[in-house]
Structure formats: structure tokens, C-alpha cells
């Protein structure tokens, strides 16, 4: 990672949590340039030691003065990439435009879904869209995600192998990665039989198509855990609609990585 004099000053808030730790991983993986980096956390996590790129840092308590010198204040002067749920009410990428921009990272399930739906929308305008999400334990949010993962891990270890289990085909009990079943209705016909939808999705950046009906191989949360790309599959016409105006797809993506940390870092890279 470079430390150029003209590189941005970076602060990671909630650095001891699951998303905060993923932020550090993504910053390092993508060699994101920074002049300096502040490790900020809630009061009860203050003082925790963190190892980042061979250096030991200490989590500082998040207070209003934490952003002094970063170009960000209570009035949102400067720019920040915010993944907190309370900021998402401002919309997707742009909350304020120009100097003094707060860029609110969308909800993780929204990011994963739109990685596929947006490219189809550009081809044949989406009218209504119906989405059902299947969310991983780590998506429990602010402090609860880590506890939920620990609980799931403990329950997995304690499972009696003699217990007979029946399960649905959607493998939800995983540590990370959300899934969504998406029904799209278009303004123009989109014919699945011509592979139009698959071609659009295969060419989309950040998206991988897993749709092998012969081998019964479709996206699962396990396959996209710790991955940058969102997976899409089960691509088929909505036979309840006439005229090929409807399409069903299934998407999976790591909601900690692409659904939070990676997406925010990619926005920062664009800035």
C-alpha cells in the first residue's frame, strides 16, 4: 500500500467489528493509497490492539473531534463513504453533491441485487421488481453480527449428527453472504431462450454467472463468501407472464465484502 503525500487521510469507524475488519482487508488487498489511517471504535472497544499491514495500532474512541484534520466534520464538509444503516436514508451513492459530499453506501442486500438487475434494466427497462432475501448470520448489524456468527458456529459444533434434518435447497445457514430471489418485469420483452439475459450478465463487471442446469450448479452463499464478485444464476423466464416480459434470477454476494467494505472502497477509488 502506498503512502503518498497527496494520498487521502483515511478513518475507519467501527474498526473492531466484522465490517470494519473487512474494510482493513479490502484496503490492503486493493493497495488503496492513504497518507495516514485512524482506527476508530465505540467506547467499549477503545484500546483494542489491531495489527494492520505489519503495524500495531490501537482503536481510538469515536468522538466528534476524531475527524479533525480529515476534512470531515459534523456539517459533512469534505467527503466520506458511509456504510452505517442510518445514513442509507439519504439514498444510494449521492447524498450531497460537490464539496461537502456524504456518500452513503447502499444496503448490502440492495448492492448484491442491483449488481445483476441494473444491467438487465439498461437493456430492457424494469418496471416492478419483487425481491426475497436470505441473509447470513453476519448481517445482524452493529455489534450483533459477530455475536450471531459465534452463536451459529457454536450451534454447528453442537449439532447432533444422529438428528435427521430436512432443509430447503437455499443454503442460508452460512457465516457470510446474502442471497436474493429476484423477479423482474420489463417494459420491453427479454427472451431467455436467446441467451440475451445471460450475455448481458456475463459481460457485467463484478458479476459471475453460475447457471449450469445439467450439473444442477447454481449460486450458493458458500461459493461467494470472501469473494469480490456477486454470483447470479437460475436465470429463467417468468412463465406466469405472457410475452417474455418477466425474468427470474437468483443472486448471492458477500454482504460484508461487496455489500459493505469493498463497495465503499470502490466508491472512494472512483473519487
* Whether the predicted model's global pTM rises above the 0.75 cut: no
Q: pLDDT grade, residue 231 (50/70/90)? A: very high
In 207-230, which positions are buried (b, 16+ CB within 10 angstroms) versus exposed (e)? bbbbbeeeeeebbbbebbbebbbb
Q: pLDDT grade, residue 195 (50/70/90)? A: confident
Q: Which domains does the chain have, with CATH numbers?
A: 9-106+260-270 (3.40.50.720), 109-255 (3.30.360.10)
DSSP sequence for 43-105: GGGTT-EEEETTEEEEPEE--GGGGTTTT--TT--SEEEE--GGGGGG-SS-SS-SSSEEEEP
Which pLDDT value is given to residue 75? 37
Active site residue 119: no
Choice among 113, 119, 178, 252 that is catalytic: 178
pLDDT tens for residues 87-130?
A: 444 333 333 334 455 677 787 888 888 888 888 888 888 888 88
Residues 217-222: contacts with CB under 8 Å, at least 24 apart: 218/250, 219/179, 219/250, 219/251, 219/252, 220/171, 220/179, 220/252, 221/134, 221/136, 221/171, 221/172, 221/174, 221/176, 221/177, 221/178, 221/179, 221/252, 222/171, 222/174, 222/177
Rounded (to 5) percent helix, strand, coil in the chain: 30, 25, 40
Q: pLDDT grade, residue 226 (50/70/90)? A: confident
Choice among 81, 108, 113, 252 that is catalytic: 108
Active site residue 81: no
Amino acid at each position: 500500500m502506498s503512502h503518498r503525500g497527496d494520498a487521502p487521510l483515511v478513518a475507519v469507524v467501527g474498526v473492531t467489528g466484522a465490517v470494519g475488519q473487512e474494510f482493513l482487508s479490502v484496503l490492503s488487498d486493493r493497495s488503496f493509497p492513504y497518507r495516514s489511517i485512524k482506527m476508530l471504535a465505540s467506547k467499549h472497544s477503545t484500546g483494542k490492539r489491531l495489527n494492520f499491514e505489519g503495524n500495531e495500532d490501537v482503536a481510538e474512541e469515536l468522538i466528534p473531534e476524531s475527524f479533525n484534520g480529515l476534512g470531515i466534520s459534523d456539517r459533512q464538509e469534505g467527503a466520506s463513504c458511509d456504510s452505517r444503516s442510518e445514513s442509507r436514508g439519504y439514498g444510494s451513492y449521492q447524498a450531497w453533491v460537490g464539496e461537502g459530499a456524504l456518500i452513503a453506501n447502499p444496503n448490502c442486500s440492495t448492492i448484491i441485487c442491483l449488481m445483476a438487475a441494473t444491467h438487465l434494466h439498461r437493456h430492457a427497462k424494469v418496471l416492478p421488481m419483487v425481491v426475497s432475501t436470505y441473509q447470513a448470520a453476519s448481517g445482524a448489524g452493529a455489534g450483533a453480527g459477530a455475536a450471531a456468527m459465534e452463536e451459529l458456529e457454536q450451534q454447528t459444533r453442537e449439532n447432533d449428527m444422529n438428528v435427521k434434518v430436512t432443509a430447503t435447497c437455499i443454503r442460508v445457514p452460512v457465516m457470510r453472504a446474502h442471497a436474493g430471489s429476484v423477479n423482474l418485469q420489463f417494459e420491453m420483452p427479454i427472451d431467455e431462450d436467446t441467451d440475451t439475459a445471460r450475455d448481458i450478465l456475463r459481460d457485467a463487471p463484478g458479476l459471475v454467472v453460475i447457471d449450469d442446469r445439467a450439473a444442477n450448479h447454481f449460486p450458493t452463499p458458500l461459493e461467494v463468501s470472501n469473494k469480490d464478485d456477486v454470483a447470479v444464476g437460475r436465470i429463467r423466464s417468468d412463465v406466469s407472464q405472457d410475452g417474455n416480459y418477466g425474468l427470474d434470477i437468483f443472486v448471492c454476494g458477500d454482504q460484508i465484502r461487496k455489500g459493505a467494505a469493498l463497495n465503499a472502497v470502490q466508491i472512494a477509488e472512483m473519487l
